[in-house]
């Protein structure tokens, strides 16, 4: 009986901490509906993303933590990793990295091969053009 209780406790603790972190994209819940992590990268602000990456992620990933360059993860998988963490990586809350800043980090991560898919990021230093409400002529 003790062994069964111990196994259940370990299983619950592991699932509560985000599991082992090596699996799939994690974009669907048990019911099959899309998760909050689904969708393409919503920012093209590479310069801001690199600054936030350096401030929030770089202290570990630039100093011995597993490198993130060339991971090739989907935006959904990377969002889940950032928000839930796994293994030795802690979860990063919205108070530490806002949703807008996270999208900019993902845009930067596209430029180093960490994330694939989504909007094409602008080269570092370029600014996105603001959207206008004016109708564009069609040809």
pLDDT, one tens digit per residue, over 46-103 is: 999 999 999 999 999 989 899 999 999 999 999 999 999 999 999 999 999 999 999 9
Does residue 40 or residue 33 have the better pLDDT? 40
**DSSP per residue over 25-83, as a string?**
---B-TTS-B-TT-S------HHHHHHHHHHHTHHHHTTTSPP-TT--B-HHHHHHHHH
Q: Enumerate domains of the chain plus CATH numbers.
A: 34-126 (1.10.760.10)
- Compute the distance between CA of residue 87 and CA of residue 90 in angstroms, rounded to an integer: 8
- Compute the distance between CA of residue 30 and CA of residue 28 in angstroms, rounded to an integer: 7
Work out the mean pLDDT of the chain and round it to a whole number: 74
- C-alpha separations of 15 from 28, 65, 82, 87 in Å: 16, 22, 16, 11
Q: What is the pLDDT of residue 53?
A: 97
């Amino acid at each position: 009986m003790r062994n069964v209780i111990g196994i259940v406790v370990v299983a619950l603790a592991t699932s509560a901490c985000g599991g082992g972190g090596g699996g799939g994209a994690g974009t669907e819940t048990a019911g099959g509906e899309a998760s909050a992590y689904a969708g393409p990268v919503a920012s093209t602000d590479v310069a801001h993303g690199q600054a936030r990456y350096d401030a929030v992620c770089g202290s570990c990933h630039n100093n011995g933590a597993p490198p993130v360059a060339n991971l090739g993860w989907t935006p959904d998988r990377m969002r889940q990793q950032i928000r839930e963490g796994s293994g030795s990586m802690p979860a990063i809350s919205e108070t530490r990295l806002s949703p807008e800043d996270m999208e900019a980090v993902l845009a930067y991560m596209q430029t180093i091969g960490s994330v694939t898919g989504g909007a094409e990021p602008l080269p570092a230093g370029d600014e996105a053009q603001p959207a206008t409400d004016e109708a564009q002529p069609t040809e």
